[in-house]
Copies of this chain bind each other. A is one copy, B any other.
Amino acid sequence: MTLRQPAGFGAPLDLSLSPYARLRPVAVSSVRLDGAFWGDRCERNRTVSLTGQWEQLDESGVLDNFRRVTGESDAPHRGYVFADTDLYKWIEAAAWVLCQESDPALERLVDQGLTLIERAQQPDGYLHTYYVRDRAQERFTNLRDSHELYSAGHLIQAAVAHRRATGSTRLLDVARRFADLLCQVFGPAESGRRAGIDGHAEVEMALVELYRATGERRYLEQARYFIEARGHGLLTEGIFGREYSQDHLPIRERQAMAGHAVRALYDCCGVADLFLETGDEGLLRTLSSLFDRMVARQTYVTGGLGARHEGEALGKDFELPNARAYTETCAAVGSIMWSHRMLAATGQAKYAELIEKTLYNALLPGWSLDGREYFYVNPLQDDGGHRRRPWYKCACCPPNIARTLASLPGYLYGTAGDDLYVHQYVQGSARAVLSGRPVEVVQRTRYPWEGRVELEVRGEGDFALFLRIPAWCASRPVLTVNGLAVEVPPVPGSYAEVRRTWKSGDRVELAMEMPVRVLESHPQVLENAGRVALARGPLIYCVEGADHSAADLLGLGIDPRRPPQAAWDADAFGGAVVLRGEAELRDPDPSWEGILYRSAAGPSRSPGRLIPLMAIPYFAFANRSAGQMQVWLRRLDA
């Protein structure tokens, strides 16, 4: 077997040899997080979430399902048909952790998982704990719903991660056998193989990564086959229509993201991966226009995606209900993975921008501050009934959060030739070989709470640092090198280039102002008419019942001309910037009591009274006592 990288090299997207990558991610193993916002969280992911999730895998039957295949367990299969992937995603998460540090206890659990998986594999390479034994004849008979290739995809991703993290090929060997089986079974009709795609995209991006990890081109070809086969109605139509699985139109003909949000996003990940290897410009054009339209018409202010509970689907243009927002946490993961690939393909800052927004406001809300509980659905308005849970019957989200956090270092930096891109501001450091010499860049920052970032270059050479200037910056930030302002002031929404002959100890400072921003939304978003949201830096804020005695936060109004002020609160959520100001509270209007519709000539409302307002980062909601939560607040100047 050809293995292209040394052990220890790892990134959830390895583009080191991809010919059409403009940027190549700096590997997880080359990035260090140093406490602060993300370092602490990733540590909690390791010590609390991964441990707890293993227990849930055990209790929910996922591990027993594997034991059942070999007869070690007599328990019936438990959970959904895709429950195997909970273990695969967990192993992937653990592998990224092990890529960064030694954790013998975690390694032992991974080994247990690997043993279960190895034993459950069938002689021909097939691996799925549901479609075996008495259900073996049903293998590959219902690709729309069976998630067999989807499961293969997660197995492959876990295997690639494990190989990159540890150097071991144990899981990769398993994954290759299953991948080889898929290559034998599925393919274009003229090849004598069976036509087929999975109802849930996933195997496509995994196969491209398997190609990258092994150099075996047939995995890339197989991914290409699956990608191009989707959209021709190979799947039988279900109650949510062909869109649900993106089988309504071939990728090249699609004009909008549609159907099941996670499926649609995973599909685009595979397509982007295919572009990165093949340079097929038609694919990139389609992806670019799908992305732009999604951001301009289907994306919540949090970065969340998926407006509909039914079919867990993206909505139509401007269909963005708040209380009924679906915004599945897995869709945030899918969005980050897709943006990461688009960023690599184009080098455009807008993709890193959406990653940032999504990380803070769509992924993070899915995870309780103590690391023990998860949201599947992330509404932007709630009456207090929506609470995180330690696990779900459909438990896709918890290990998806875990693997994203564990691989977060791989999303922060990129290289283009001799230049280094800083996509995200996270305290820590990155190592890369630039102009032939090893260089380390150390970041010191209290981001996202403060807008000041200090970068210290350790090493020497002629190269450029590209610093992303977030589009949320209302004014041009100040960028200095060793205390001197750079010539061209940085432009929000782009990368600022600092090219020079670096000496060790050179310091770059980026100072971004972080005023509280008051946002309005496109007039076609009907639920937000006359409403505004509060943001500061990359964070979206919300108001929550725990901070207000008002009975009805829905009617809380703020004046955009007098926004609340940011203040550091060491007691809030282990330290956070909260927003404090004034809001207008309207007591329930008795003239509406028991009435739903009335003449528009009816009594107009009297103004309310001012009360203290407190807004907290949206990601922190529902971590205290249950109560109302609201992102969009009534605007008083409307």
Contact = CB atoms under 8 A, between A and B. Distances in A.
Interface of A: 292, 295-297, 299, 301, 308-310, 315-316, 319, 321-324, 383, 474, 517-527, 529-533, 554-555, 560-561, 589, 592, 594-602, 605, 635, 638
Nearest to A295: B596
B635 A596 contact: no
A517 B322 CA distance: 30
Q: How many copies does the complex hold?
A: 2
A114 to B, nearest CB: 33
15 contacts: A299-B596, A310-B310, A315-B324, A316-B383, A319-B324, A321-B324, A520-B597, A520-B598, A522-B592, A523-B605, A524-B555, A529-B529, A560-B601, A600-B635, A638-B638
Contact of A529 (B308, B530, B532): B530
Contacts of A598: 519-520
A524 B600 contact: no
Nearest to A322: B526
A595 B308 contact: no
Contacts of A561: 601
Contacts of A321: 321, 324
A519 B595 CA distance: 12
Contacts of A310: 308-310
Contacts of A297: 596
A518 B560 contact: no
A178 to B, nearest CB: 30
Contact of A520 (B554, B555, B599): B599
Nearest to A528: B526
Contact of A518 (B526, B531, B601, B638): B601
A186 B311 CA distance: 36
Contacts of A315: 324
A301 B527 contact: no
A599 B323 contact: no
Given A523-B592, A598-B520, A319 B323 contact: yes
B527 A597 contact: no
A323 to B, nearest CB: 7
Contacts of A324: 308, 315, 319, 321
A599 B521 contact: no
List 4 A-B pairs, minimum CB-CB distance, nearest first: A310-B310, A560-B600, A520-B600, A309-B310
A545 B635 CA distance: 31
Contacts of A527: 526-527
Nearest to A558: B600
Given A324-B321, A527-B527, A529-B530, A522 B316 contact: no
Residue of A299, A527, A532 with most chain B CB atoms under a 10 A cut-off: A527
Given A310-B310, A529-B530, A594-B292, A602 B319 contact: no
Contact of A602 (B309, B520, B530): B520
A171 to B, nearest CB: 33
A597 B526 contact: no
